[in-house]
Amino acid sequence: MAIPIRVLFVEDSEDDAVLLLRELRRGGYGPVFERVDTPEAMVSALDRQAWDIIIADYVMPRFSGLAALELVKERGLETPFIIVSGKIGEDVAVEAMRAGAHDYIIKNNLVRLVPAIDRELREAEVRRERKRAEQKLRQSEKKYRQLVELAQEGIWVIDPEGRTTFVNPRMAEILGYTVEEMTGQPVFLFIEECAVEALKAHVERNKQGFKDQFDFIFIRKDGARVYTSLETSPVTDDDGNITGAMALVADITERKRMEESLRVSEANLRRITDNMMDMITQTDAGFIYQYVSPSHKSFLGYEPEDMLGKNVLDFVHKSDLKRTVAILETFLKTKSQVKLELRFRHADGHYLWIESTGNLLLDDGGRVTGAIFEKHDITERKMAEMKVKTYEMKLRSLAAKLSLAEERERRRIASDIHDHIGQSLAVAKMELGALRKSLSSTALIKVVEEIKDLVEKTIQYTRSLTFEISPPILYELGFEAAVEWLGEQIIEKRGIRFHFEDDGQSKPLDDEIRVILFTAVRELLMNIVKHAQARTALVSVRKQGQNLHVRVEDDGSGFDASEKGFNFSKIGGFGLFSVCERLKHMGGNMEIESMPGRGTVITMKAPLKRQKVCGGDTIECKIDSC
């Protein structure tokens, strides 16, 4: 298969061009060609496309081989140029070769043409490859120089004797010199005298072929010390021989100053924390102690080293452990300050109440790296609180006993009124009736009638008094019927609509709880009448599990139950407060919801059977806004 080749013939003889084409085809080429014989035609051909080879006659009527060669050189082309001509002298051939022709061939000896073309095409490819490589090298060198000159780190190259052979502008800037001032100077000129031997040791390692990394202090032109971090490596020639060393130099002076400032700050902080009365600790992200202030010795009996490396939970009372774990987990999730009270083991084995405030330590990415805790002893306060709670329990118990004693007395008085006074009045009424039948005098009959009416009114008043003191319906028909009767007696008689709702379930209440709930409902209904300005009142009674829920609500004026300093005087004073305390004592509570203009809802919850509440701090009267 013929080798394609683009040939530009600079020839005035068409016959000679045909002979040249025949020779090329005989040598295995498939030429694409053009023949020109004037400068204008050649310029047009060169501008129109690239040529693999140019074959030119030496002498033509309007043109010449040397003129054609000059046009090629003017364009900077490196296309192989071969002169093929008739008889020319040796001096002419030499002149042509000096002018830049790659070869010359006599027309009557064309056997050399194809080998010459083969050779020149190969050399042309070599020249192109070399040119491309040189261009890449220049680009690489330019890029390398730009990187070196614009690098944020200093670059310093020395020869085996330690003389500076190259520094980039950044290196000169670090030390306050110009590049020219540093070039050729010994590296040891830029360090303290006491550091010369140390630097020589590092240079010697590079001479032995080792890389090195270390921090070092150089001296600026103005005498200031510069802290640097160096990465050094040996420099080798093409044969692998070590010809010096190169260092990448980073200025870490500012970092060193910050580290020193931080060290001083940490030392000052350590002195402060070491002398604080409160206990200060620092942990890692797993709450392992990393720092413990000396004040722990005074409060908890531990030397700091006794706690270092141990977990916070190792010192927590087992009864507080589950709660503490939950708080710490939430602490890690929310990353907000935490405050907790717990019992902490003293070195001698007993426990102290501690209040601890914790704040997380975060890195720049927001990840938890540890925590700081400030602790102080609240044992005395806790003991005082326990005493107060004990007194509260005793007071609640006393209030409950007084309430029951009051109710028993009320019931006894009501029973006496009913059994003695009521019955005596009933007998008197019957006697008056019998007396009236035996009288014939109109005047006496009238007197007896008046006395009988008076006795009847007294009987009615006695019955009402009996119900007000201790309604028998509460004991005979139960709590629900008594509440419904109470609403009709207190609310409806004063023009307020009353509704009662009962879920219909059996509610076997203890007498003590039944009395307290009935007393509370009576207090609340009286408050609605006195203060609420309501049009409607509702009482609902529902059983939920082993508890009874009594809900009393109205559509009256309401009040702000969420305001600071709320007290029971707004809704009934000491009577209702006493009821709330008695509910707590029995394991119940009272919830109050109200807003101005939105009415009031009060819900009382109590067990069907009395529960003993240990500690007295598990049930509270809760006040919320609607």
Residue-wise DSSP of 540-602: EEEEETTEEEEEEEE-S----TTSTT--GGGTTTHHHHHHHHHHHHTT-EEEEEE-TTS-EEE
Residue by residue, DSSP assigns 421-435 as IIHHHHHHHHHHHHH
Pairing of β 81-85 and β 53-56:
parallel
pLDDT of the residue at 39: 94
pLDDT of the residue at 150: 58
Q: Which two tokens stand for residue 383?
A: 């003991």
Instruction: Name which of 506, 519, 272 is nearest 403 in CA terms.
Output: 519
Instruction: Name which of 67, 20, 112, 132 is nearest 5 in CA terms.
Output: 20
What is d(CA 230, CA 201) in angstroms, rounded to the nearest whole number? Answer: 14
What is d(CA 579, CA 398) in angstroms, rounded to the nearest whole number? Answer: 12
Q: Which two tokens stand for residue 525?
A: 């209904």
**Number of Cβ atoms within 10 Å of the Cβ of 9:** 24
What is d(CA 456, CA 429) in angstroms, rounded to the nearest whole number? Answer: 7
Give the residues of the chain that fall short of pLDDT 70: 87-88, 140-151, 268-277, 396, 399-400, 403-404, 407, 411, 414, 418-419, 463, 467-468, 470, 562-576, 611-626
With residue 306 as reference, give the H or E element that holds it.
Answer: helix 304-307
Please compute, for residue 490, the number of CA atoms within 13 A of its CA located in the half-sphere on the CB side: 23
Q: Which two tokens stand for residue 586?
A: 């029995």
The answer to whether 117 touches 82, Cβ cutoff 8 Å, is yes
Please compute, for residue 192, the number of CA atoms within 13 A of its CA located in the half-sphere on the CB side: 10
Determine the topology of domain 478-624 in CATH.
Heat Shock Protein 90 (3.30.565)
Pairing of β 589-594 and β 622-624:
parallel
Q: Does domain 3-132 have CATH number 3.40.50.2300?
A: yes
pLDDT of the residue at 318: 93
The answer to whether 375 touches 354, Cβ cutoff 8 Å, is yes
With residue 230 as reference, give the H or E element that holds it.
Answer: strand 225-236
Phi/psi of residue 157, each to 5°? -115, 135
Query: Taking the model in full, what pTM does it have?
Result: 0.39
**Number of Cβ atoms within 10 Å of the Cβ of 209:** 11
In the DSSP assignment, the letter for residue 201 is H
Q: Does domain 151-257 have CATH number 3.30.450.20?
A: yes
Cα dihedral value 261, 262, 264, 265, nearest 10:
110
Please compute, for residue 525, the number of CA atoms within 13 A of its CA located in the half-sphere on the CB side: 29
Phi/psi of residue 360, each to 5°? -80, 150
Query: What are the tens digits of pLDDT across the range 194-232?
Result: 999 999 999 999 999 999 999 999 999 999 999 999 999
224, with CB counted inside 10 A (0-12, 13-18, 19+), is exposed
Instruction: Name which of 111, 110, 102, 62 is nearest 86 in CA terms.
Output: 110
Question: What CA–CA distances, in Å, run from 488 to 143, 208, 482, 495?
Answer: 101, 110, 10, 10
What is d(CA 13, CA 35) in angstroms, rounded to the nearest whole number? Answer: 9
Q: Does domain 276-377 have CATH number 3.30.450.20?
A: yes
pLDDT of the residue at 151: 62
